[in-house]
């Protein structure tokens, strides 16, 4: 870390999510700074570095990992490259904030976690939504018993994707709607129930070699069920609801509130709905600061995780959908 105790990040690749979300989020961070960008496209990297006042550009990922002035890397690379470069970063002694999901397979995620553990660095899966204050408020409401014990979750994250060259539609890069947006519903169910699913059932529609529509059911202990769907065919929508014996929580703009307030609706039979708005927050900036706090602690702090359990659920869903 620098003398000011800010964690020094390097970004592996000039991906759209880095430009549109991570680097703008870095501007709001209290605890970190971006010191380098690496890309095989030198012009694109230089342009990104100039836009975000990043002092160094490296011509390769290897060069960034060799940079002694870098403490941690942000991994926005295609899903198929997460394992290779997370392990390389760990061996170089860099902490890793890896875009979600870290892997489509349990074995791959475990190798990543093991490599980071062996090198004494922190691996955190970048589910930024967990750090938005609206979900802290959801947890408070659940803990208050306003709807009773949660027993059913529904989640949906969809948008229309027509560009067939998009990385999300590339099978070799582990694209697909489950890996891109469906994983949010899986993650939300695991977070809400604070446990791991016991079984998974799923259906998918495949085009271009990847799932463009995915629907899954996860069963948790105690007869609790989560249903989720994701799609590249349906208009933009991201929401989850939580049912309990006394009522329902409905969370709008759940995963991508962007500049809008978070919105939570509590519905109970025979009573007027209670509507709460949570002020806008840059969830990427909050995620970055949470990562820094985890690095300082030496392990991933809740509500974040390393992604191994998430990968186990994704693997089970794909197994069901393909059977």
Q: Per the residue annotation, which of 100, 135, 248, 250 is the catalytic one?
A: 100
Among candidates 197, 193, 205, which has minimal Cα distance to 240? 193
Q: 94 catalytic, yes or no? A: no
Among candidates 290, 283, 307, which has minimal Cα distance to 72? 290
- For residue 139, CA distances in Å to 24, 165, 273, 303, 306 come to 27, 39, 18, 11, 21
CA end-to-end distance (rounded Å), the chain: 48
According to DSSP H, which parts of 55-200 are helical?
61-65, 82-91, 106-119, 133-144, 177, 183-193
Residue 256 to residue 140: CA distance in whole angstroms: 20
197's CB contacts (< 8 A; 6+ apart) are 189, 190, 218, 219, 220, 226, 313, 316
Residue 240 to residue 191: CA distance in whole angstroms: 12
Catalytically active residues are 100
């Amino acid at each position: 870390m620098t003398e000011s105790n800010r964690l020094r990040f390097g970004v592996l690749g000039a991906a759209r999510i880095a430009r549109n979300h991570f680097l703008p989020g870095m501007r709001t961070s209290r605890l970190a700074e971006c010191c380098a960008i690496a890309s095989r496209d030198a012009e694109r990297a230089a342009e990104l570095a100039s836009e975000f006042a990043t002092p160094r550009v490296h011509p390769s990922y290897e060069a960034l990992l060799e940079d002694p002035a870098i403490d941690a890397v942000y991994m926005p690379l295609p899903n198929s490259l997460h394992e290779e470069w997370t392990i390389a970063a760990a061996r170089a002694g860099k902490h890793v904030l890896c875009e979600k999901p870290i892997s489509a397979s349990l074995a791959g995620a475990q190798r990543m976690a093991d490599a980071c553990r062996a090198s004494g660095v922190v691996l955190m899966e970048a589910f930024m939504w967990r750090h938005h204050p609206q979900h802290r408020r959801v947890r408070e409401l659940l803990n208050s018993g306003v709807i009773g014990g949660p027993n059913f979750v529904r989640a949906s994250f969809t948008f229309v994707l027509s560009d067939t060259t998009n990385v999300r539609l590339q099978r070799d890069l582990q694209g697909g709607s489950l890996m891109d947006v469906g994983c949010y519903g899986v993650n939300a169910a695991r977070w809400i129930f604070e446990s791991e699913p016991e079984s998974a059932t799923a259906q998918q529609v495949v085009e271009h070699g990847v799932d463009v529509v995915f629907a899954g059911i996860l069963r948790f202990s105690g007869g609790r069920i989560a249903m989720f769907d994701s799609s590249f065919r349906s208009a933009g929508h991201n929401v989850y609801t939580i049912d309990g014996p006394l009522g329902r929580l409905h969370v709008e703009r759940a995963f991508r509130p962007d500049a809008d307030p978070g919105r939570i609706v509590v519905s109970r039979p025979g009573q007027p709905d209670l509507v709460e708005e949570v002020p806008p927050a840059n969830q990427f900036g909050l995620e970055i600061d949470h990562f820094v706090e985890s690095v300082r602690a030496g392990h991933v702090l809740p509500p974040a995780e390393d992604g191994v359990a998430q990968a186990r659920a994704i693997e089970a869903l794909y197994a069901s959908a393909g059977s």
